[in-house]
Amino acid sequence: MKTILWDNDGVLVETEPLYYQASKEVLAEVGFHLSEDMFADVSLKQGKSVINLAMGTEPESDKWENLRQKRNQRYTELISKPVNMRKGIRDCLEGLKSKVKMGIVTSSLKEHFDQIHKSTQLLPYFDFVLTREGFNKPKPYPDAYLTALEKWNLKKPDCMVVEDSERGVIAAKAAGLKCVAIPHALSERGDFSGADYVCRDFGEVKKVILGWI
């Protein structure tokens, strides 16, 4: 049976705007204005920390670690309320559940992942989950997908990835996997030329996957 590896944030759920909001609010406290374009470029394209962007050439210190902790705390507060799922995702998963094996491969911390999915009722669709604690380097490095392949004994030709960001597509392709991209308002600024397919909605995603299997 073929396997679909799903990203979480920005694919299953609309949490990227909340992460941006948390980052923007915390960085404003040190006089740094984080625009949507900056967030999209640094976080969603390059896969780097926006805290480092604010640091500039200033050396790492407790000040910046405290900012990271405050950002994570603020993000936790924002996701404590039910988060929005991406439009059409449930119908897509429902249409695929008996035809493919499905797993989630995310750079989200397990604490955040579990909080997000308290209200979504999406997890029963998936056979396994890999969160940030389970691999070494985050996307755009391929570690997350390579770890998933090894951990669940998956073969590359039998797997396809669904991602929303440039960094995610780069990670999937670096791992030698086929990739479907479904950008959203924040991530659409990225370069998706590396993806095998770029879809506008989850109806298209389902069609691509069913055509592939």
Q: How far from chain centre, in Å, is Cα 35?
A: 20
Rounded to an integer, what distance in angstroms lies between the CA atom of residue 163 and that of residue 139? 11
Res 62 pLDDT > 80: no
Give the model confidence (pLDDT) of 139-194 as tens digits: 999 999 999 999 999 999 999 999 999 999 999 999 999 999 999 999 999 999 99
pTM: 0.92
How would residue 57 be classed by pLDDT, with cut points 50, 70 and 90? low
Strand stretches in 124-198, DSSP E: 128-130, 159-163, 178-181, 197-198
Strand 178-181 and strand 197-198: pairing?
parallel
pLDDT for 80-111, tens place per residue? 999 999 999 999 999 999 999 999 999 999 99
Longest dimension (CA), the chain: 52
- Identity of the residue numbered 10: G
Mean pLDDT of the chain: 94
What's the pLDDT score for residue 30? 86
Is the confidence at residue 61, as pLDDT, over 70?
Answer: no
The residue whose two tokens read 């695929």 is 96
Beta-carbon count within 10 A of 69 CB: 11
User: pLDDT digit string (tens) for 8-26?
Assistant: 999 999 999 999 999 999 9
Q: Which residues pair with 9 in a beta bridge?
A: 13
pLDDT band of residue 45 (cuts 50, 70, 90) is confident
